[in-house]
Amino acid sequence: MNLQHLILFDGQCGLCQKSVQWIIQHDTRKQFVFASLQSQWAQSLLSEHGWPHNTMDSIRLISPYPSQHAQLYSRSEAILVITKILRHPYRWVLRFCPVFIRDAVYKQVQKNRYRIWGQSETCWVPSLELKGRFLDQ
């Protein structure tokens, strides 16, 4: 079984949708798969592992997926791990920034994300070629 990294995101958040599209664009090795936090599939997965599942306020990364030893990352820690896996230059900025500062910035963005980037009534629907990377479809 090929292990990947599962990103759970708020499917109604404009910033989250743009972030997923950015990750897909930079994920040349196709290491990530995705699911909307609003999906029953994602909620069941989180609940099954005893992880917080009743909130849509944070990106979550389950790595590696699927694995009995997978870890759940959220907020700025999830972003740090994602950029590290992508080998993106931003990882160095995030890595040396203290967690309390990263999380404070994350919380401010989180608080204002709908106002700045918008919110849609429905989740973003990936193209046919990308559908296979979305596990909740």
Q: Quick one: average pLDDT of 39-56?
A: 83
The amino acid present at 17, given as its one-letter code, is Q
End-to-end CA distance of the chain: 20
- Residue 48 is predicted with a pLDDT of 85
Q: Quick one: average pLDDT of 123-136?
A: 77
Q: Is residue 89 part of a domain?
A: yes
Q: Is residue 24 part of a domain?
A: yes
Q: Is residue 133 part of a domain?
A: no
Predicted structure pTM score? 0.81
Q: Is residue 137 part of a domain?
A: no
Which residue range is the domain that position 103 belongs to? 4-128
Q: Is residue 94 part of a domain?
A: yes
Greater confidence (122 vs 130) lies with 130
Q: Is residue 118 part of a domain?
A: yes
Q: Is residue 72 part of a domain?
A: yes
In sequence order, the 6+-apart residues with CB closer than 8 A to the CB of 115 are: none
pLDDT value at 88 more than 60: yes
Q: DSSP 3-state assignment of 100?
A: helix
> Does 89 sit behind a cis peptide bond, omega within 30 degrees of 0 on the bond before it?
no
Q: Is residue 44 part of a domain?
A: yes
Q: For the chain, how many structural domains are there in total?
A: 1
Q: What is the mean pLDDT of the chain?
A: 83
